[in-house]
Structure 1
Amino acid sequence: MVSMVWPTFVFPPPSSVFVTAMSVISFTGLAYTGISEVRGKHLQYSKFWQYNSGESRSQIHVSGRRGMQIIYTPAFLAGLTSLVFFPQYHDIRYLLVSSALTIHFLKRLLEVQFVHKYSGGMALDSAVPISLSYFMSTATMIYAQHLTITQGLLEPPIDLKFPGILLFLLGISGNFYHHYLLSTMRSSSSSQSHSKSNDDKDYKIPRGGLFELVVCPHYLFEIIGFIGVSCISQTLYAFSFTVGTVFYLIGRSYATRRWYLSKFKHFPHSVKALIPYLL
């Protein structure tokens, strides 16, 4: 059944061993990382790792802001480069995909600089591979879109570009709003404990927006945004990356909820991890 429906939504796979391999690598890598989050093995830039790691002092660290800049800048430059140096002005789908990815990572960089609050540093040997992963995923998604043009692949019978644009805008807006709510909560806690050291990690239970229903609404909207990009793209790689991202963010959301339950005795058990009332 899936094999019959799938071709109506997705471009035929391009003749590219690289894109095919990256589709498998992106999906399995992200899914495995999500499972690792559930098992308690966290990437070394999260509050979970900062609280629990006993080996952090032996590693090279940068500030949280600098670490996030390292993570997001190469992917942003990949998107920007695709628009400036390799414009496919005759193909609206290519322009939309490249623009969406560029806007996505520009938003992240602006949030890093002006929105997010930081309570610790980041291990450099974690920032670099994460940065490389974002860069490779962004470049591959754009390259896969480029191949649909150069190889003359037939458009899918069902065009999802415009629903994809709406989903992308919803996702990026909802993600920003809940990041903003997190930043106001953290700035509030920081002002109340201004006399504490810079290493203070005074966390609160998030409130407002969908935080009343789920622990990680910013992840939920990030998923919606990537589903939007996949619908704009309609390539196998884009959907593979998005499905892998879903698995990763489910695992990370689950770990976040478990962390809040361990830190706050009165954390409401009715608040789910990612999807209101369900998950």
Structure 2
Amino acid sequence: MEEEQWYWKALWLNIILAFSTAASLTRITAPYGRHTQAAPSSSLDVWGPSMPARDGWVLMESPALWFTLLVFSAGKHSSETVPLVLLRLFQLHYTHRALIYPFRMRSRGKTISIAIVALSFVFNIYNGYLQARWLSEFGTYPDTWLRSPQFISGSLLFAAGMVTNVWADSVLISLRKPGEERGGYKLPQGWLFSLVACPNYSGEILEWLGWALLTWSPAGLVFFIFTAANLIPRAVAHRRWYVSKFPEFPASRRAVIPFVL
């Protein structure tokens, strides 16, 4: 089978994975962060052993940097201007996710399931291949693409989403003092937190919608679909957790999409 034929099958498989992930997360809340503390021991046993949260974050997010770069470099368009710009935007997000955010989070005493880390690591290999191979091999981007409506509008959404994601993460990190790493969860307030429980997830979904537009690619669209399928059920679980822990949680505050969901 030609690689391009296999590539399209892999894209369709990722859509199937997106819907199966959404279906699973509506029934099961994966034990990470606050949900690790809330989960019964029998539930945690299913997920197996854990590792330090910071190490897990770096490990599972890093393939989006090094593996994506390796795949991109093998493409026939890898030295062209526009594919290089697109790659840098993709890696901008993951530089923050793999190399900055893990060292800002309050992680002392926190763990993450090795199974979750492994699944995320494999997904980042898989998705990194899909994104990088499109950018440098199967896609075609003339230099004028940087002035196209798709690139401009998509870049604005991508930037707005990333700023929102980083800002929301910063607010959540600042809620707990250094001595409260093992607990001390507080209800975030203000600006986007008055509209949704998880503006960090809202921002990330917006980022990858922007990515789908600025690359105008099936790979970008599939990644956006997967991101929404993964983060929306998690945001709903977060909102449910807030409601159970904070009687003052506003009923009007949605999970991830203001006034809607």
TM-score higher than 0.5: yes
Is 1:33 the counterpart of 2:21 in the alignment? Answer: yes
Residue 217, structure 1, aligned to residue 199, structure 2: yes
> Residue 276 of structure 1: CA displacement?
1.4
| Alpha-carbon distance change, 47 to 36 in structure 1, aligned in 2, over 3 angstroms | farther
How many angstroms does 1:97 deviate by?
A: 2.5
1:165 maps to 2:155: yes
How many percent of aligned residue pairs carry the same amino acid?
23
Secondary structure in 2 aligned to 1:221? Answer: helix
Q: Which residue is equivalent to 2:78?
A: 88
Superposition map of 1:47-126 within 5 A: 47-55=34-42, 56=44, 59-81=48-70, 88-92=78-82, 94-118=83-107, 120-126=110-116
1:116 deviation in Å? 1.5
Query: What per-residue deviation string (whole Å, max 9, x for no partner) do you get for residues 213-258 of structure 1?
Result: 1001111110111111111211112202211211221111111111
Corresponding position of 1:43: 30
1-structure distance, mates of 2:193, 2:214: 28
**8 A Cα contact 2:72 2:132, kept in partner:** no
C-alpha deviation, 1:160, in angstroms: 0.8
Classify 1:46/1:16 alpha carbon distance in 2 versus 1 (closer, same or farther; 3 Å): farther
Deviation, structure 1 residue 91: 4.6
For structure 2, the residue ranges without an aligned partner over 5 or more in a row are: none
TM-score (norm 2): 0.85
- Contact preservation (8 Å) 1:101, 1:138: no
The one-letter code of the counterpart of 2:10 is M
Q: TM-score scaled to structure 1, two decimals?
A: 0.80
- Measured on the aligned residues, the alpha-carbon RMSD in Å equals 2.7
Q: Which residue number corresponds to residue 164 of structure 2?
A: 174
Measured in 1, the distance between the counterparts of 2:21 and 2:130 equals 20
Q: Distance in 1 between matches of 2:45 and 2:25?
A: 21
Map of 1:270 onto structure 2: 252
Q: Counterpart of 1:246? A: 228
Specify the code of the residue in structure 2 equivalent to 1:26. N
| Partner of residue 230, structure 1 | 212
The answer for the alignment partner of 2:134 in structure 1 is 144
Q: CA distance change for structure 1 residues 49 and 37 in 2, over 3 Å: closer, same or farther? A: farther
- Distance in 2 (CA, whole Å) between partners of 1:278 and 1:25 is 29
Structure with greater contact order relative to length (CA < 8 Å, sep ≥ 6):
1
Q: Structure 1 unaligned runs (5+)?
A: 1-13
* Counterpart in the other structure of 1:6: none
Change (3 A) 1:149 1:240: closer
Tell me, yes or no, if structure 1 residue 183 matches structure 2 residue 173.
Answer: yes
The CA deviation string for residues 92-134 of structure 1, in whole angstroms up to 9 with x for no partner, is 1x22321112111101123334321236201112211211102
- How far apart are the structure 2 equivalents of 1:35 and 1:66? 28
Q: Which amino acid aligns with 2:53?
A: G
- Residue 23 of structure 1 corresponds to which residue in structure 2? 11
* Structure 1 runs of 4+ with >6 Å offset: none
Checking the alignment, whether the CA contact within 8 Å between 2:161 and 2:204 is kept in structure 1 is yes
